């Protein structure tokens, strides 16, 4: 990847959240049943809801997800929470209720978080004295579509 943009960061975070949703539930080790598995006949299955198929993610997708999980470590806790809530597909109303901000402010924090991650991945050092808007403007200079 030559240059990361906030849009690419957003897509990668969404993919990581999708992979996390598809991973199997963790099982406790040491617990097992000695009972034989019950074999159900066709008559037993009539009227039952079919079990949803679970497609496991590929190893490459899991590797990308593991790499992506560390990206929000340098963000402020609220910014990281907003970024992950949006990656999981939460609506803005739910995000705003969770973090206690209005929609415009929550959106500003979300864009700021994506821009910080993109700058970190591009190895661009950002001064701590820059405001949120100045960091976003730096990213807009690189990606006018932002």
* Domain map (residue ranges) of the chain: 6-22+56-142
pTM equals 0.78
pLDDT category of residue 80 using cuts at 50, 70 and 90: very high
Going from the C-alpha of 100 to that of each of 20, 44, 105, 136, 146, the distances in angstroms are 26, 49, 10, 22, 25
Mean pLDDT of 22-40: 82
pLDDT of the residue at 48 = 82
Own/partner contacts of 49-53, CB < 8 Å, gap of 24 or more, are none
pLDDT of the residue at 33 = 79
Show the DSSP H helices in 23-71 as ranges.
42-45, 59-69
Residues 6, 146: contact at Cβ < 8 Å? yes
pLDDT of the residue at 140 = 78
pLDDT of the residue at 69 = 92
For residue 107, give the nearest of 99, 68, 8 by alpha carbon. Answer: 99
CA 18 to chain centre: 7
The per-residue pLDDT for range 105-139, each reduced to its tens digit, is 999 999 999 999 999 999 988 888 888 888 888 87
Show the DSSP H helices in 48-91 as ranges.
59-69, 77-87
């Amino acid at each position: 990847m030559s240059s990361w943009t906030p849009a690419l960061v957003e897509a990668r975070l969404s993919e990581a959240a999708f992979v996390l949703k598809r991973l199997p539930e963790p099982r406790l080790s040491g617990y097992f049943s000695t009972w034989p598995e019950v074999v159900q006949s066709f008559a037993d299955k009539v009227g039952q809801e079919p079990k949803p198929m679970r497609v496991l993610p590929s190893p490459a997708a899991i590797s990308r997800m593991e790499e992506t999980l560390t990206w929000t470590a340098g963000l402020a806790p609220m910014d990281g929470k907003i970024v992950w809530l949006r990656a999981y597909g939460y609506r803005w109303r739910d995000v705003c209720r969770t973090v206690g901000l209005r929609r415009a402010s929550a959106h500003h924090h979300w864009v700021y978080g994506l821009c910080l991650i993109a700058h970190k991945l591009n190895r661009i050092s950002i001064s701590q004295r820059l405001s949120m808007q100045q960091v976003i403007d730096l990213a807009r200079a690189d990606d006018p579509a932002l």
